[in-house]
Amino acid sequence: MSHTGQCLCGAITYEIDNAPSTAGICHCKNCQRQAGSAYSTLAVVPAAEFRFTKGEPKLYMDGDTDSGNAVERHFCGNCGSPIYSALDSMPGIKILKTGTLDDTSTFKPQFQAWCDSKQNWVQLEDGVPAMAKGS
Closest to 34 measured CA to CA, from 68, 69, 64, 9: 64
User: Residues 97-122: what's their mean pLDDT?
Assistant: 93
Average pLDDT rounded to a whole number, residues 5-11: 98
Mean per-residue pLDDT, 92-120? 93
Q: What is the mean pLDDT of residues 92-119?
A: 94
Instruction: Spell out a b/e string for 91-104, using b for 16 or more CB atoms within 10 Å of the CB, else e.
Output: eebbbbbbbbbeee
Average pLDDT taken over every residue of the chain: 91
**Percentage of residues in the chain having pLDDT higher than 70:** 94
Checking if the pLDDT of 135 tops 70, the result is no
Cβ-contact 27, 39 below 8 angstroms:
yes
Query: pLDDT of 28-80, one tens digit each?
Result: 888 899 899 999 999 999 999 999 999 999 999 987 666 667 889 999 999 99
Structural domains of the chain in order of their starting residue, each with its CATH number: 3-117 (2.170.150.70)
